[in-house]
Amino acid sequence: MHPVPASLLENLRQYPTPRAYVVAYSGGCDSHSLLHSLVQIREQLDCQTIKVIHVDHGLQTQASDWTQHCQNICDQYDIPFTAINLSLLVPKGKSIEAYARTARYAAFEQHLKDDEMLLLAQHQDDQAETMLLQLLRGSGVKGLAAMPEVIKVKTYWQARPWLTLSQRDIQAYAEQASLNWIDDPSNQDNRFDRNFLRNEVIPVMRQRWPSLSETMSRAVGHQAEADMLLHELAERDWQTCQAQAPESLLTLAIEPLKKLSAPRQRNLLRYWISEKCRFPMPDRVQCQRIIDEILPAAEDAEPFVSWAGVAVRRYRDMLYLETVSSVVSTDWQQSWDLKSPLRLPSGQQLVVKQKKGRGMIVPDNQEMLTVRFRLGGEKCRLPGRSHRHELKKLLQGWGVPPWQRDQIPLIYIGDEIAQVVGYSICEPFIATNEQIGFEISLVQ
């Protein structure tokens, strides 16, 4: 067997076995060679289902011809072919490369099923280019780890089984197999950073250091290992800080966080925000502002650091992470019959489940409820209490941050608060053991 498909077979056998291999097929030399190699080793794989996805970004005049070429190749191989047409309009000031890549991977995600494996044809030289790009952007360890070989992305796998092969080896295989591939002329456009590195910079470097790609691939491995260690350290630190703030993933206890060194604080904040909460990563300046401005602030202060629609705030001894939404008018109100979810101005929804002995009851003569926000002066009688309490004091006692208090949905039956959603049902609207109640919850 030729070394190129042999390398593919060896690597795929080390990965999880998917329900299908899905080749990201542009029609170029690398992806065509990957598809051809996969067909050659198909009978030796535990999973023999192969599919192809081709993305037309709508940025090249020849794109429709390329799509037809890819369709023809897949017909020859008797492999199911899916073409995705994006027709991208790149916003002014945005990188065409980055914008197209984001759109392409989003398209892949929409078409991949659970436990399928997306196969990408990036190779050792691509890895070297990626590391150099990340280095020139001032990236940290995670960025310098470049492209992972195989990872789980939500419900599917993403694999790059040729990161140890050079582009020269792949092209030699394609020529020997007499493959007919597409040459994209945009690959020669040195306005794009990656093309400039590939066409102008790396060839000069390789004259001095012939083993450049192999050496940088080894350095990428070291960075990936370091990133794994930082991840493990962040998980340990998160467990310490989260154990003292168990209410939500979106909170972190300040006192144990302050005891960490500054590098560990930054490492934990990035991990908490990006890995645990899946929010956009803050840059170094924003991360440092959290440490310098929010951690040492007085407990009654309300410091605020925001980026990309996300904010970190402090209340008492806790950090709160949340999306920054537009301020909703407190005089908003809406009638509700409980028969279907109710969408709030924030985009969140109130949903209902009926359960015996749980939740809120509605008097027989009451067909409609009202949902509104706090205006001031509201009162609620808590379960088992004989008199009503001011809602303002209840919210303080429950530890609700000040900026959240005016956006908590209040369920009114007539002129009385029946429920403070997420916190308490008020008397006399609490279902007894024999009654069917409405459990109301707030969802994104």
Dist CA 353 CA 306 (whole Å):
36
Please give the single-letter amino acid code of residue 438: F
Integer angstrom CA distances of residue 67 from 34, 85, 99, 182, 276: 17, 9, 20, 10, 39
Average pLDDT over residues 307-313: 91
What is the pLDDT, as a whole number, of residue 400? 87
The whole-chain average pLDDT of the chain stands at: 91
Question: Which residue shows structure tokens 């070297």?
Answer: 128
pLDDT tens per residue across span 62-97: 888 999 999 999 999 999 999 999 887 778 877 888
Residue 325 pLDDT > 70, yes or no?
Answer: no
Dist CA 89 CA 337 (whole Å):
43
Same fold for the domain at 3-219 and the one at 244-320? no
Average pLDDT over residues 48-65: 90
Longest dimension (CA), the chain: 87
Dist CA 3 CA 9 (whole Å):
10
Task: Let me know: does 374 contact 330? Beta carbons within 8 Å.
Answer: yes
pLDDT tens per residue across span 365-375: 776 789 999 98
Report the range of poorest mean pLDDT among 95-104, 116-125, 257-266, 319-328: 319-328
Q: At what angle do helices 124-136 and 212-243 cross, to 10 degrees?
A: 60
What is the pLDDT, as a whole number, of residue 415? 86
Residue 185 pLDDT > 70, yes or no?
Answer: yes
Of 3.30.930.10, 3.20.20.70, 1.20.59.20, 3.40.50.2300, the CATH number of 244-320 is 1.20.59.20
Residue 388 pLDDT > 60, yes or no?
Answer: yes
- Give all strands (DSSP E) within 328-409, no chain letters: 333-336, 342-343, 349-356, 369-372, 379-380, 389-390
Dist CA 115 CA 80 (whole Å):
18
Task: Let me know: does 266 contact 291? Beta carbons within 8 Å.
Answer: yes
The partner residues of 156 in beta bridges, in order of sequence, read 153
Dist CA 235 CA 24 (whole Å):
33
What is the pLDDT, as a whole number, of residue 348? 85
What is the pLDDT, as a whole number, of residue 14? 95
Dist CA 331 CA 328 (whole Å):
9
The pTM of this model reads 0.77
Task: Let me know: does 26 contact 84? Beta carbons within 8 Å.
Answer: no
Q: Which letter does DSSP use for residue 113 in this model?
A: P
Domain boundaries, the chain: 3-219, 244-320, 333-443
Please state the φ and ψ torsions of residue 412, each to the nearest 5 degrees.
Answer: -105, 135
Average pLDDT over residues 340-366: 87
Average pLDDT over residues 159-181: 95
Task: Let me know: does 265 contact 233? Beta carbons within 8 Å.
Answer: no
Residue 303 pLDDT > 80, yes or no?
Answer: yes
CB neighbour class for 443 (10 Å; exposed up to 12, middle 13-18, buried from 19) = exposed
Task: Let me know: does 319 contact 312? Beta carbons within 8 Å.
Answer: yes
Average pLDDT over residues 371-398: 89
- What DSSP string describes 64-103? HHHHHHHHHHHHHHT--EEEEE----PPTTS-HHHHHHHH
Tell me the pairing of strands 379-380 and 369-372. unpaired
Residue 299 pLDDT > 90, yes or no?
Answer: no
Task: Let me know: does 398 contact 247? Beta carbons within 8 Å.
Answer: no
Residue 326 pLDDT > 60, yes or no?
Answer: no
Residue 98 pLDDT > 80, yes or no?
Answer: yes
Residue 343 pLDDT > 70, yes or no?
Answer: yes
Q: Which two tokens stand for residue 294?
A: 């929010």
CB neighbour class for 184 (10 Å; exposed up to 12, middle 13-18, buried from 19) = middle
Of 3.40.50.620, 3.10.640.10, 3.10.20.90, 3.40.50.300, the CATH number of 3-219 is 3.40.50.620
Sheet order of strands, 150-153 included: 81-85, 50-56, 20-24, 116-119, 156-159, 150-153
Residue 353 pLDDT > 70, yes or no?
Answer: yes
Residue 345 pLDDT > 90, yes or no?
Answer: no
**Measured at the alpha carbon of residue 306, what is the angle toward residues 257 and 332, in degrees to the nearest 5?**
115
- What DSSP string describes 267-315? HHHHIIIIIIS-PPPP-HHHHHHIIIIITTS-TT---EEEETTEEEEEE
Please give the single-letter amino acid code of residue 248: S
Q: Which letter does DSSP use for residue 160 in this model?
A: -
Residue 329 pLDDT > 60, yes or no?
Answer: yes
Integer angstrom CA distances of residue 421 from 97, 101, 328, 372, 374: 45, 41, 17, 11, 12
pLDDT grade for 293, boundaries at 50, 70 and 90: very high
What is the pLDDT, as a whole number, of residue 272? 95
Share of the chain above pLDDT 70, in %: 98
What is the pLDDT, as a whole number, of residue 208? 96
Average pLDDT over residues 168-195: 92
* Residue scoring higher pLDDT (14 or 383): 14
pLDDT tens per residue across span 17-39: 999 999 999 999 999 999 999 99
pLDDT grade for 245, boundaries at 50, 70 and 90: confident
Average pLDDT over residues 350-367: 86
pLDDT grade for 328, boundaries at 50, 70 and 90: low
